[in-house]
Chain A
Amino acid sequence: MSAESIETSLSSDSGRRPGSRRTGRYHILSVLVENKAGVLARVAGLFSRRGFNIASLAVAPTDDDERFSRITIVVDVESAPLEQVVRQLDKLINVVSISELAPSEAIERELLLATVSVGPEERSQVIQLIGVFGGEVVGVGSDQLSVTLSGRPEKIDDFEDLLKGYEVVGLQRTGRVALEKLGYRPARSLRALEGESR
């Protein structure tokens, strides 16, 4: 079974997930901020005091200019209209620019780390599974196994669902990061091919 077909078979489930792009409920904002103390508190505080919900949030310095960091926020637009979220964010003095990344125009990636309790039989199953998904085994103990997988958030969703068949000791996801697709042209024909870059 290929990773692609696993995804297809699970796609109806994962639509409910916070990280999923299969519903219109979640939007990705890529927010360029000044790399200053307290910036994350300002952004997070704004979301909490205005009652906006965050599905995930990832922060890291940009590599082109040490003055700036990029915060990738997946926003639940059921809690507030996206326009209001963007305009309130834009009022923060340390926020330099905000772009909304439509899923079809963005490359998105997320990373998962998981440790599962496994007996001898299950161990080979999990090793096979992570292999099918293109992830890695990063630790093996007598009755436990740690794996890592990176990729599109939907792929991570699907893998996480499959892992639930085992005893998961610990699981951590990073939340997604995203960038605009290279040379993206908003033409209809290209949109029809969405997913080809997987």
Chain B
Amino acid sequence: MQLTGAQALIKSLEQERVEVVFGLPGGAILPVYDPIIDSSIRHVLVRHEQGAGHMAEGYAIVTGRPGVAMVTSGPGATNIVTPLSNAFMDSTPLVVVSGQVATRSIGTDAFQECDITGVTIGITKHNWLVKDPADIPRTVAAAFHVATTGRPGPVLIDLPKDVANATMEWYWPESVEDLDLPGYNPVMGADPSLIEKAVELIDSAKRPVIYAGGGILKARACEALLALAERTQIPVVTTLMARGAFPDSHPLCLGMPGMHGNYTAVTAMQRSDLLIALGSRFDDRVTGKIDAFAPEARVVHVDIDAAELGKVRKPDVGVVGDCRVVIEEMLSCIDANAPKRSGAPVDLGPWWDELHGYQKRFPLYYDRDTTGPIKPEMVVESLRDLSPRDTVVVSGVGQHQMWASQYWTFDHPYTWVNSGGAGTMGFAVPAAVGAKVGRPDRTVWAIDGDGCFQMTAQELVTATAEGIPIKVAILNNAYLGMVRQWQEMFYEERYSEVYLSPDLPDYVKWAEAMGCVGLRAETQDEVIPVIEKANSIDDRPVVVDFRTDAFEKVYPMVPAGVSNDAIVVHPDQEGATR
């Protein structure tokens, strides 16, 4: 069967069981947009290519399937660089197809030419410039294989216009061996002797902590993690990327560690004698000053990416492997060792007593004074209490992101979508659109900041046009709030370029102009009714402008570059004994 390169590309996406492509056409990608008309694949037409990338990310995070985006050459391709970087940092599987100028024009500075494979080398797991239409099916299959296996990540296929127009004889690669990837062999299972060593450390630890990262979610290892924690009774912290990987309501869960983690999670790691790092990467936002991080802890580090072992902290036992497989092997090993072990198991009672003491003295705290302006934390708590338990929560980057992570109760995996490693402002609205496309049965709330919202709000036009009824809560404090917080705390309250205004733009009118329902809450007593109203609407996107207290800061906080021991608690908690 003879097909054009463009037809082969779309047919290849169908072979990969792609349901939806987020994109925006243009000159160089025109040939590929023609067969989309005849394809079963849904296309969501975005208003800016950055939106396409973040939508594909939101879709991938909630479904576990690779997100697919399609853009034209030049500016179309460079506009999706930020999502590629974001997905690379957070190990999200994406397949981006970009149009390219015709092969004979490459290198001539042709109209809308950009060396996008060169630009994205450092922020993709791999990329391909396809020069022969016969390579298209194999390249697409390889792209999906690379994006979704091992440590997942974004890939890019650059397709010149003449290659899309040329014809080829259709085929589909039968197996991984046909993909021409001699240098790519991701591992799954681990060396049994390392599992044995890890379990020895776990069995003898007095103050162990499971440090669960985003790899748990990527490996679909939530059940295995729950089994490991319950079997060993070891406390679990869930990083920003792992919120929902272990239920917040579970008595073994200590919540989020890190710069804005809660006191107990941060201190448990500092005081620990064994960190069991599962799919986490000792990010600077978690460790604080690395030399002072968890000084007494030995480390068991499990990661599918060998380069993560020892990159930041040298592990005592480093295990390369898939988190689910390794945790299951650990559990078998623990069970097999139990009868052989001499003496009683280590009593974790004193450790738990210490942790419960922290939880009692330093719970997450904000001033619940009912007379003042709306507290952003109260908005998050109200959203949580009034929305279904399995609501998907999406956030941008900044104070609102931290409050969302702190005050939501994540009891289900794949219900938290945020930009962790890259810290991409403007992520929330498009990522929420993608999440809703992936999980149309769920309520999807984007909890956004006013600064973030203004960066990508135009994708609400996409949401309205395509019938994707997301909900957006803007925690509108009229500031670039996190930057303002740093200027208040570390720059002697010299506020430089952080004021945005609560009224400009008028978020309600803007929402309405984009076909959404626009709502506003200006006082505390308006919060609950407005959320109830928003939750009752399911035929259109809803935007709620919550006018929140501009002076509210995120606590606790470990200032950048200092030890986690120097954690700053809310001023009202300063009197408590540490």
Complex interface: chain A residues within 8 A of B121 (CB)? 38, 41-42, 45
CB–CB A84/B311 < 8 A: yes
Residue A87 interfacial (CB < 8 Å): yes
CB–CB A49/B122 < 8 A: yes
CB–CB B122/A45 < 8 A: yes
Shortest CB–CB separation between residue A69 and chain B, in angstroms? 12
- The segment out of B37-45, B178-186, B407-415, B507-515 that lies at the interface is B178-186
Q: How far, in angstroms, from A95 to B182 measured CA to CA in the complex?
A: 8
Interface string of A23-55 (1 = CB under 8 A from B): 000000000011001100110011001000000
Q: How far, in angstroms, from A38 to B146 measured CA to CA in the complex?
A: 18
Known interface pairs A37-B129, A38-B117. Does A88 touch B183 (Cβ–Cβ under 8 Å)?
A: no
> Which of A38, A91, A93, A96 interacts with B118 by CB under 8 Å?
A38
Shortest CB–CB separation between residue A36 and chain B, in angstroms? 9
Q: How far, in angstroms, from A91 to B91 measured CA to CA in the complex?
A: 14
CB–CB B183/A34 < 8 A: yes
Complex interface: chain B residues within 8 A of A91 (CB)? 305, 307
Residue B357 interfacial (CB < 8 Å): no
Interface positions of B from 157 to 187, Cβ below 8 Å from A: 181-184
Q: How far, in angstroms, from A88 to B122 measured CA to CA in the complex?
A: 12
Shortest CB–CB separation between residue A86 and chain B, in angstroms? 9
Shortest CB–CB separation between residue B573 and chain A, in angstroms? 40
Give the A-B pair count, Cβ closer than 8 A. 43
Q: How far, in angstroms, from A87 to B311 measured CA to CA in the complex?
A: 10
Interface string of A50-86 (1 = CB under 8 A from B): 0000000000000000010000000000000101100
Residue A94 interfacial (CB < 8 Å): yes
B121: nearest chain-A partner, CB-CB: A45
Complex interface: chain A residues within 8 A of B117 (CB)? 38
CB–CB B310/A84 < 8 A: yes
CB–CB A93/B122 < 8 A: no
Interface positions of B from 270 to 326, Cβ below 8 Å from A: 305-307, 309-311
Complex interface: chain A residues within 8 A of B182 (CB)? 34, 67, 96
Interface string of A81-125 (1 = CB under 8 A from B): 101100110111111110000000000000000000000000000
Give the most central of B183, B309, B311: most A CB within 10 Å.
B183
Complex interface: chain A residues within 8 A of B183 (CB)? 33-34, 92-97
> Which of A88, A93, A96, A97 interacts with B146 by CB under 8 Å?
A93
Complex interface: chain B residues within 8 A of A90 (CB)? 306-307
Complex interface: chain B residues within 8 A of A96 (CB)? 182-183
Complex interface: chain A residues within 8 A of B184 (CB)? 93
Complex interface: chain B residues within 8 A of A49 (CB)? 122
Shortest CB–CB separation between residue B305 and chain A, in angstroms? 7
Shortest CB–CB separation between residue B449 and chain A, in angstroms? 30
Residues of B in contact with A (beta carbons under 8 Å apart): 117-118, 121-122, 125-126, 129, 146, 181-184, 305-307, 309-311
Q: List 26 contacting pairs A-B, 8 Å CB cutoff, sorted by A.
A: A33-B183, A34-B182, A34-B183, A37-B129, A38-B121, A41-B121, A49-B122, A67-B182, A81-B310, A83-B310, A84-B310, A84-B311, A87-B306, A87-B307, A87-B309, A91-B305, A91-B307, A93-B125, A93-B146, A93-B181, A93-B183, A93-B184, A94-B126, A94-B183, A95-B183, A96-B182
Residues of A in contact with B (beta carbons under 8 Å apart): 33-34, 37-38, 41-42, 45-46, 49, 67, 81, 83-84, 87-88, 90-97
Other contacts beyond A41-B118, A93-B183: 4, CB < 8 A: A33-B183, A41-B121, A90-B306, A94-B126
